[in-house]
Amino acid sequence: MKHIGERIKSLRLEHGMTLKELGDAIEFNYSNLSKIERGNRKPAIEVLESLSTFFNIDISYFFNGQKRLSNTGNPEHNQLINISEEMRRNNISLEELLEMIKKLDQIKNASKSN
């Protein structure tokens, strides 16, 4: 039976990520992530929550190995989760997103009046 660290490593490798990339993505020290993967350290629940959100799986995967998607059955909600994760990975703030939306609206309105 795989331990939690092995499951984390499997997920990371399935997504073609290095320890540093995953650590940066979930805002966790990659050296400590390496210790967790090797079984030398136990992860805090907050780390598992971050990983389950990042990989869009249910947190129970780390304990039972079953990859159920973490979703509400609502496609719009899942899309918002994916967008917010993408924003976080690209360091886009909510203010920057709102500014982009304003500019897109301006472009749309300008094209409608032509």
pLDDT score at 91: 81
Q: How many domains does the chain have?
A: 2
Q: Is 8 in the same domain as 34?
A: yes
Q: Which domain holds residue 98?
A: 75-112
Average pLDDT over residues 62-67: 71
pLDDT score at 74: 63
More confident residue, 89 or 34: 34
Q: Is residue 82 part of a domain?
A: yes
pLDDT score at 8: 95
More confident residue, 23 or 93: 23
pLDDT at 87 over 90: no
pLDDT score at 67: 57
More confident residue, 103 or 94: 103
pLDDT at 98 over 70: yes
pLDDT score at 18: 95
Q: Is 46 in the same domain as 98?
A: no
Report the chain's terminal Cα–Cα distance, integer Å: 64
Q: What is the pTM of this model?
A: 0.57
Q: Is 100 helix (H, G, I), strand (E, B) or coil?
A: helix
Q: Is residue 87 part of a domain?
A: yes
Dist. CA 64–CA 66, nearest whole Å: 6
Q: Is residue 96 part of a domain?
A: yes
* Domain CATH number, residue 20: 1.10.260.40
Dist. CA 1–CA 50, nearest whole Å: 23
Q: Is 101 in the same domain as 50?
A: no
